[in-house]
């Protein structure tokens, strides 16, 4: 009898969770209550696409690739699998300094054109931001100080200067317009991998409260000072162990649209490293999908990959079983560096690479939206 009751109760719970999940999927809107019509449409597009399958994303896909820079119409993924990635990531680091190009030498004018083209094609843009360290003047990876975030917050000595950095960033965001003059909605993934300690906004460099305040201050400033309402915000720590750790620095549902994480194959990419990756990916996919189910946020993978794609079956044998049927919006593979001194820094195989065929097979799999 007891077990019958137990079974009945667990069925009810399952049914309840499923219904809540479905309701969440359709009822949800962007966190920004003043989001533009196009931003709401982007939100719904992401929702409906992820119901069909996971999208393929590639960082800097149109600007350069392995062994080439700025060749019109080219993309390494397209060379191999015949199409552009559905999701293209761009890095806006150095925009805050007023430079004409980012820290990887992609001109912001070109980036804007690529974003417009992607939008015309129905693709999605996601932006990361390795902002410089305002205290030392060095780059985002300068972690020598643990008061950078505090100094940027309203009572801090660098607050006014940081607002100028935000003004420059806002100006770029406000320059993203389609041919009718409407703002092109994009996903912003700022202050990422903050549970690690390799950026000035990292876990050892700021308290959870300071981090949350930094996030909120940025979003509020964009919205209130600049009237920016064409962004979806993506929260993307590095791998965490459980939901409590994932949420420790979460700024709140009112400030986030997508919940993500960044996770790479560690070390040299040996079979043992790949096993570690599988465990970390599975755990973190569980964390974000569970939280997305409760909160109605969109789960996605902020960054991932195996440098040099050393395993020729990485996409179909490692990635596919991890992501299949999980309702994830996309997985963004990191950039294929063009720089001569970084010949092994690539995450999507190029034509002739031993993993190229495997990527093509992956792109055609059930549950992959390509």
Binding site for ligand BMA (CB under 6 A): 91, 103-104, 130, 335
- Are the beta carbons of 201 and 236 closer than 8 angstroms? no
Least distance from C-beta 91 to ligand BMA, angstroms? 4
Among residues 29, 54, 25, 52, the alpha carbon closest in space to that of 39 is found at: 29
Question: Is the dihedral angle over the CA atoms 189, 346, 87, 261 positive or is it negative?
Answer: negative
CB of 192 or CB of 230, closer to ligand BMA: 192
Q: Which CB, 107 or 221, lies closer to ligand BMA?
A: 107
Tell me which residue has its CB nearest to ligand BMA: 91
Closest to ligand BMA by CB, 91 or 239: 91
Instruction: Report, in Å, the least distance between residue 104 CB and ligand BMA.
Output: 5
CB of 151 to ligand BMA, least distance (A): 23
Minimum Å distance from CB 101 to ligand BMA? 12
Q: How far is the CB of 337 from ligand BMA (least distance, A)?
A: 6
Dihedral of alpha carbons 205, 206, 212, 215, sign: negative
Closest by CA to 240, choosing from 184, 290, 182, 293, is 290
Helices 2-27 & 271-295 angle (0-180, nearest 10) = 80
Nearer to ligand BMA, 45 or 139 (CB): 139
Q: Does residue 272 sit in helix, strand or coil?
A: helix
**Residue 217 CB, nearest approach to ligand BMA (Å):** 23
Nearer to ligand BMA, 50 or 335 (CB): 335
**Joined tokens for residue 335:** 């950039």
Q: Which residues pair with 305 in a beta bridge?
A: 264
Residues 15, 320: Cα–Cα separation, whole Å: 27
Nearer to ligand BMA, 132 or 205 (CB): 132
Residues 56, 82 contacting (CB under 8 angstroms): no
Give the integer Cα–Cα distance in Å for 67 and 236.
29
If the CB atoms of residues 283 and 345 are measured against ligand BMA, the closer one turns out to be 345
| Residue matched to tokens 């096993």 | 275
Tell me the closest approach of the beta carbon of residue 305 to ligand BMA, in angstroms.
10
């Amino acid at each position: 009898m007891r077990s019958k009751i137990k079974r009945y109760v667990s069925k009810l719970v399952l049914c309840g969770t499923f219904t809540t999940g479905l309701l969440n999927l359709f009822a949800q809107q962007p966190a920004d209550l003043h989001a533009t019509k196009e931003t709401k449409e982007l939100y719904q597009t992401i929702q409906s696409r992820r119901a069909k399958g996971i999208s393929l994303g590639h960082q800097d896909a149109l600007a350069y690739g392995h062994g080439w820079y700025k060749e019109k119409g080219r993309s390494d993924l397209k060379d191999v699998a015949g199409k552009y990635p559905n999701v293209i990531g761009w890095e806006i680091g150095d925009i805050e300094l007023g430079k004409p190009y980012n820290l990887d030498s992609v001109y912001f004018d070109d980036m804007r054109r690529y974003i417009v083209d992607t939008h015309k094609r129905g693709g999605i843009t996601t932006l990361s931001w390795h902002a410089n360290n305002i205290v030392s003047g060095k780059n985002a990876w300068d972690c020598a100080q643990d008061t950078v975030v505090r100094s940027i917050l309203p009572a801090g000595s660098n607050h006014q200067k940081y607002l100028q950095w935000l003004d420059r960033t806002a100006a770029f965001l406000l320059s993203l317009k389609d041919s009718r003059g409407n703002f092109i909605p994009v996903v912003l993934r700022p202050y990422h991998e903050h549970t690690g300690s390799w950026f000035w906004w990292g876990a050892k460099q700021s308290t959870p409260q300071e981090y949350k305040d930094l996030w909120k201050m940025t979003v509020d400033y964009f919205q209130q000072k600049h009237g920016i309402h064409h962004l979806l915000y993506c929260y993307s720590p590095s791998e965490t162990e459980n939901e409590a750790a994932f949420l420790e620095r979460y700024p709140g549902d009112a400030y986030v649209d997508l919940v993500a994480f960044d996770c790479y194959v560690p070390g040299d990419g040996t079979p043992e490293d790949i096993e570690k990756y599988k465990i970390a990916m599975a755990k973190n996919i569980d964390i974000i999908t569970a939280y997305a189910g409760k909160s109605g946020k969109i789960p996605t993978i902020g960054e991932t990959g195996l440098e040099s794609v050393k395993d020729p079956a990485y996409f179909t044998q490692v990635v596919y079983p991890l992501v299949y049927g999980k309702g994830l919006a996309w997985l963004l593979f990191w950039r294929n560096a063009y720089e001569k001194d970084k010949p092994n820094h690539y995450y999507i195989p190029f034509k002739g690479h031993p993993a190229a065929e495997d990527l093509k097979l992956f792109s055609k799999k059930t549950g992959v939206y390509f």
